[in-house]
Amino acid sequence: MSFNIAIDGPAGAGKSTIAKSVAARLGFIYVDTGAMYRSLALYFIRHGIDGSDEAQIQAVLPEISVSLAYEDGAQLVFLNGENVSDYIRTEEVSAMTSKTSAFASVREKLLELQRDMAAKYDVLMDGRDIGTTILPDAQLKVYMTASSAVRAKRRYLEQQARGIECTVEEIERDINERDERDKNRAVSPLKKADDAVLLDTSYMTIDEVVAAIEALYKKRVQP
């Protein structure tokens, strides 16, 4: 039987960074569900789709194929056969993702692929509704959070490293707006699962967070 770990939390909480490290240490497959939603958002942007028009989005979903591959332990995301891993981390894509991931049709597009992987393999998934909707039976659920100021500073440094010009203030405003959208959306809103462990990473290093989750896993498999 496969073992599944679900990590949820708001934008900029460091989920992807932590999830990759934990998965590598435990020998799990890391499934970045956010990257899958971002790939759809990139398609919408490229094709001039209005992110607030669900009818437009539903009309083009059959044209879109998203798949995952792994190379040297790293996840690659393919959009209609094109490796878009390097094109889905911009603020424009982030904003479109937040708008469009709220639609049930978009979530259903990816749900089957995500659950199929979890049934077959030991996987670690991170996102907004992994523990509540995607993998409600995951053996370990973690809800990672951090203050909006800390999350904005982290995202700012990431964008600077990519050569993308922005300000901390702009990013924190976007983060707060996204938090509101994610928490209040009608379909699979961002919330902590009742059986998830709350982990505030505001003043924790990456190594400390990884160690904390690894310890939680060991307690589950070696009670």
- For each of the domains in the chain, give its residue range(s) and CATH number, in order of start: 4-218 (3.40.50.300)
The stretch 23-37 carries a mean pLDDT of: 90
The pLDDT-based confidence of 120 (bands split at 50, 70, 90) is confident
Residue 165, C-beta contacts closer than 8 angstroms, at least 6 positions apart = 159
Q: What percent of the chain has pLDDT over 70?
A: 99
Residue-wise pLDDT for 57-98, tens only, equals 999 999 999 988 888 767 899 999 999 999 999 989 999 998
Radius of gyration of the chain (CA): 17
Quote the CA–CA distance of 19 and 119 in Å, as a whole number.
19
Query: For residue 60, what pLDDT is reported?
Result: 96
For 18-153, list the strands marked E by DSSP: 29-32, 66-71, 74-79, 82-83, 123-127, 140-145
Query: For residue 131, what pLDDT is reported?
Result: 96
Element housing 4 (H / E): strand 4-8
Residue-wise pLDDT for 137-184, tens only, equals 999 999 999 999 999 998 899 888 888 888 999 999 999 998 888 888
Quote the CA–CA distance of 16 and 94 in Å, as a whole number.
14
pLDDT of 198 > 90? The answer is: yes
